[in-house]
Structure 1
Amino acid sequence: MGSPPLLAKIRKTFPKDAHHSEPVIEILEHWRDYFPGAKQCPPFVALDLWPMRKAMLRVSDPRLSQQFTTVKAVTRGQTSRQFMTPVSLGLDLLSTDLPTHRVWRSRFAPGFLPRNLLTHMPALLEEIGIFTAKVERQTGKPGWGKVFQLEDWATSLTFDVIARVAVDVKLGEQLVDGPGPFRDALQTQILEMRPRTPWNRLRSCSPILIYRAWRNHNTMSELLMPKVQARIAAMGSKGTTYDDKTVIDLVFKRYQENCERKGEPLKPDKAFVDTIISNLKVFIFAGHDTTSSTICFSLYQLSKHPEFLAKVREEHDAVFGADPLAAPALLLEHPHKINETPYTLAVIKETLRMYPLAGTFREGSDETVLHAEEGGAPVSTAGFDLIDGVWELHYRPDLWPRPYDFLPQRWLVGEEDPLFPVPYSWRAFEHGPMNCIGKDLALLEIRLVLVHVARRYDFETAWEEWDKIQGYTEANIDRLRGDLRTRK
């Protein structure tokens, strides 16, 4: 059982900007010290966080995780809804009850199917082309170019990509210095996604924050609403077609088909429209962080492992031809060629194993009972939030041999190989009926980025130079951020 004093004590042993999961990973890595009577690493850790927030069960066993995400899909509940409210007003897929989730998931899911995503290849290549051109301008000829922050560029790219796929809107985030209106509004609201501590509850009542949230939501809605209203206006008209495969287009296609089947009028109410807008915001929120971070970490790991970079380049040469500049035209004509890059996908999956983002929250109850062992005593989850501890799961040595080594071959070996992943132990996008709806879009975008830049450029971290640019000193060195430079 963990408590605030214990976690605070452990956290002091890490840098100030260490990931919030580090204390729990520490507990599980040294479980013999924290659980002296245990014979094996515990499948979960109970964290009593009173009075700051609700108690949590952080699960680090894939079988146990499957029990509340797949075998029985447990609702995300109040904690998730409160956390998401600053961005979605509590109307998104992450915040709703299970019946509502099923309805809206069925409406949005077609837009994220791989076959539909490939129809967006022209838009994807256009946006990634802008990203590649920006990298090209920073490249030294010969030698290394200027130091720049890749994460910021990758984030802008991902905003633009998701907006094109979801609503066919060109945000143009990559074409401006600093965040554009939509990104600025969304990221400001993301900063308000905080645990519901007593202080944060009081803080959320601030008139200034309430006004700022209203203004930010208006800014985002002004960009998204015209597409929604256009779809509403077109419904029922003779000759209405749904050919462009955007997420919003397919939502209305499914809605219209359902109304026609039931003989109901085509009159989407305000709640319907608000739910669409809220989910579009959450798709952009949830997708941009995962994708941009994975782009950066993939290039970082390839820069550290030239032997793996060589294999990626060899694969791209075999699939797209020896000329890196010819790949976009080939993909435009044959979008499915991107699926012929298994080693590139292995690099991405291994990156997501080592650098996952967040596990799912589920709401414990008297009805949800976990069984840590076959035939073992049931564990009641009443009064707890259930956390899929993805960081702990991805670094357990009994699940992942050599967990701190970057080994893309894990994803290409057969079941007889010790490196073969244990079923359900990779949880970067969750499992079950409430898994990440945008998983295939994220993996597609990252693959396309690597196809565009992995052969043409070398990347390296440039910590010392970035320190000088930012005026860092030894006194504040712990605030360093990962930045890259590139060369041809």
Structure 2
Amino acid sequence: MTGVKSLADAVLQYPIAVLTWTIVVAFVARFFWRGYQQRRFYRNLPGPPHSWLWGHLKIMGEVAALLPPNMHPQQMYTEIAKKHGLEGMFYMDLWPFAEGSLVLHDPELMDQIQVTKPLPQHRLANDLLKPMVGDNVIAAANGAVWKRLHNAMLPAFSWSHIRHLTGMMVDECMIFRDILDRKAATGEVFSFEETSARLVFDVISRIVFAFPLHAQTASGQELLDIRELIKLAEGQLDIFTRLNPFNMVRVWWRKREVVGRLDPKLLSHVYERFKLLINEEMVPSRRNPYSILDLMLREHVEQSPEKGRTRNAKISKADEELLLTQIKGLLLGGHGTTTDTLTFLYMLLSKHPEVVQKIRQELIDVFGPDSLAAMEHVVEYPEKLQNLPYTEGAIKETLRLFPAGFGVRQAEAGMTISYKGGNYPIDNGLVLSSNAHGVQWNSKYFPDPEEFRPERWIGENEAPRAYFRTFGKGARACLGQNLALNEIKIILMATVRDYDFECAGLKPNAQPRLTHTRLDMIYGDVIFQELAMEPKPRGGGMMTVRKIA
């Protein structure tokens, strides 16, 4: 009874201290119980060597130590698979620092969650994108919200509409040529990523709004603001920033300033168009959309009781936020991945003059010998862009070597995936990662995977479509993939016959960092894609350009 009395006295005398210690003990007990459950879940599942203490954190850390900082995980997963002989799929136990993952690098396995039974996006996708653009951007949305957005935007990415955009893209490319002329005249070293980003941003802004935001010819403040939002979001996710409350306040305050400047600008474009549509009693056409914004405003125009009167034309606060999120997402995603692909493509072309020559010859064969006349010709006959198999092969080969990341899905409780006669769990909060990089660097699917070989995609040599996973598959495949391919073809038309590009400042590694690639012995660390919203070029793709006489 003495012990009980002493404990009771302690509770009465020091209630706050006892409560605090009780909470601490409960938290520690819960932490270790959760850790035990996590480690037990992964013990007998396919994966690299597993530790009761470290899970797979040590394995991930060993690969990360070989690479430059802030690596996108897709290349790390490919290296882990190769180093440990992991075929098809493997689990990664990263508790308590990250969500556990099931990494798929087999096309048939990917189809099980993307095509056969499409699973929703993992909440992690929205958690990562929300600080950059807002909640429920189409790339991360699920359910009714995704269906509504997908249905609204889909006509803007039809082939008929993409062909209609050719003249606009050519106009922007002519501005880009003028910029390249100036850089060629001075011989300066410049960031190809930054310069091409301004071109691509003006293209996507005209697709979204039907007018440019003048990133090529003016400051491009909207582009600068969106890029800063990415950097600030990265800061919020950084563990060292999160541990310092002063840094978190600084990041929050700066983000508030940027959003306070950017959102009103974008919203003014929305309302300017919305009120015009109501005033003119125009319901945007789905068959021949003027812009993506028109498509997103279509339902609001149809529902407006004030046709012909703009004074009370309003969109609900929730729909305003959803529209702003989609616009920022389109501007960001629409220029980001295309810019990345262009930078890697021109980097590869600078080391493969034989590929450049074949592209030039194909352009001459289809559009004639005069490059400026060819730009006028493609505006009149945009369908001829589909007659460039070698050029398209070079683009696809770039996307094979440097895919634009992977989607993340999640499953309901009790769901499994089938592989080699067995069923494996895909629930427990797992991040289901379809690693295109792992497929596209696998010699089983692509012999000599390090070789830049556009012929892989032509005629009898063409690789099966199932092996090309950069854009995903199924209903959630990238909406803008055909748009991006056409846009890059037009940019190549505008540049490849009249300009030679050369990488600047490359520092080839004496020994390869990884076992699955030796490209860093040619290009240095720039081949190791950096983690941003997407896998991006490291170092900005520094180049010089020379105009061909």
Interval containing the TM-score (normalised by the shorter chain)? 0.7 to 0.9
Deviations 1:369-388 (A, max 9, x none): 21123x42243332211111
Could you say which residue in structure 1 is the equivalent of 2:22?
none
Aligned length: 456
- 1:92 shift after superposition: 1.0
Do residues 392 (structure 1) and 402 (structure 2) align?
A: no
Could you say which residue in structure 1 is the equivalent of 2:477?
435
Could you say which residue in structure 2 is the equivalent of 1:288?
335
Change (3 A) 1:70 1:367: farther
Name the CA distance, whole Å, in 1 between partners of 2:400 and 2:115. Answer: 20
Q: Among residues 23, 29, 33, which one is paired with 2:76 in the alignment?
A: 23
Could you say which residue in structure 1 is the equivalent of 2:542?
483
Change (3 A) 1:284 1:436: same
Do residues 151 (structure 1) and 151 (structure 2) align?
A: no
Change (3 A) 1:180 1:6: same
Could you say which residue in structure 1 is the equivalent of 2:344?
297
Do residues 341 (structure 1) and 383 (structure 2) align?
A: no
- 1:49 shift after superposition: 1.2
Do residues 448 (structure 1) and 493 (structure 2) align?
A: no
Do residues 310 (structure 1) and 347 (structure 2) align?
A: no
Change (3 A) 1:350 1:150: same
Does the 8 Å contact 1:69/1:432 carry over to 2?
yes
Do residues 379 (structure 1) and 425 (structure 2) align?
A: yes
Letter in 2 for 1:444: N
Name the CA distance, whole Å, in 1 between partners of 2:162 and 2:465. Answer: 27
Does the 8 Å contact 1:167/1:248 carry over to 2?
yes
Does the 8 Å contact 1:86/1:213 carry over to 2?
no
Name the CA distance, whole Å, in 2 between partners of 1:266 and 1:222. Answer: 17
Superposed counterparts of 1:352-367, under 5 Å: 352-367=399-414
Could you say which residue in structure 2 is the equivalent of 1:123?
168
Does the 8 Å contact 1:77/1:97 carry over to 2?
no
Q: Secondary structure at the match of 1:459?
A: strand
Do residues 409 (structure 1) and 455 (structure 2) align?
A: yes
Q: Secondary structure at the match of 2:475?
A: coil
Change (3 A) 1:24 1:378: closer
Q: Among residues 156, 175, 199, which one is paired with 1:111 in the alignment?
A: 156
- Per the normalisation by structure 1, the TM-score is 0.85
Change (3 A) 1:443 1:368: farther
- 1:62 shift after superposition: 1.0
Letter in 2 for 1:76: Q
Superposed counterparts of 1:1-400, under 5 Å: 1=47, 3-16=56-69, 19-32=72-85, 41-139=86-184, 145-176=187-218, 180-194=220-234, 206-237=248-279, 239-240=281-282, 242=284, 245-253=290-298, 256=301, 268-373=315-420, 375-400=421-446
Name the CA distance, whole Å, in 1 between partners of 2:71 and 2:130. Answer: 26
Q: Secondary structure at the match of 1:319?
A: helix
Mind listing any 5+ residue stretches in structure 1 that lack a counterpart?
33-40, 466-476
Name the CA distance, whole Å, in 1 between partners of 2:447 and 2:393. Answer: 16
Does the 8 Å contact 1:396/1:403 carry over to 2?
yes
Deviations 1:71-96 (A, max 9, x none): 22211132111101112221311232
Letter in 1 for 2:473: H
Does the 8 Å contact 1:235/1:266 carry over to 2?
no
Letter in 1 for 2:479: I
Q: Secondary structure at the match of 2:431?
A: strand
Does the 8 Å contact 2:91/2:101 carry over to 1?
yes
- 1:133 shift after superposition: 1.1
- 1:403 shift after superposition: 0.8
Deviations 1:392-435 (A, max 9, x none): 12101111111111111111132xx4xx4244221111111112
Larger radius of gyration: 2
Percent of matched pairs sharing the same residue:
25
- 1:19 shift after superposition: 4.8
Change (3 A) 1:378 1:462: closer
Name the CA distance, whole Å, in 1 between partners of 2:95 and 2:525. Answer: 30
What is the Cα-based RMSD across aligned positions, in Å? 2.8
Q: Which moved more, 1:323-332 or 1:16-25?
A: 16-25
Name the CA distance, whole Å, in 2 between partners of 1:426 and 1:381. Answer: 26
Q: Secondary structure at the match of 1:138?
A: helix
Letter in 2 for 1:78: R
Q: Which moved more, 1:43-52 or 1:267-276?
A: 267-276
Name the CA distance, whole Å, in 1 between partners of 2:118 and 2:304. Answer: 28
Name the CA distance, whole Å, in 1 between partners of 2:67 and 2:424. Answer: 35
Name the CA distance, whole Å, in 2 between partners of 1:82 and 1:101. Answer: 16
- 1:12 shift after superposition: 2.1
- 1:282 shift after superposition: 0.7
- 1:201 shift after superposition: 5.6
Q: Secondary structure at the match of 2:94?
A: coil
Change (3 A) 1:269 1:342: same
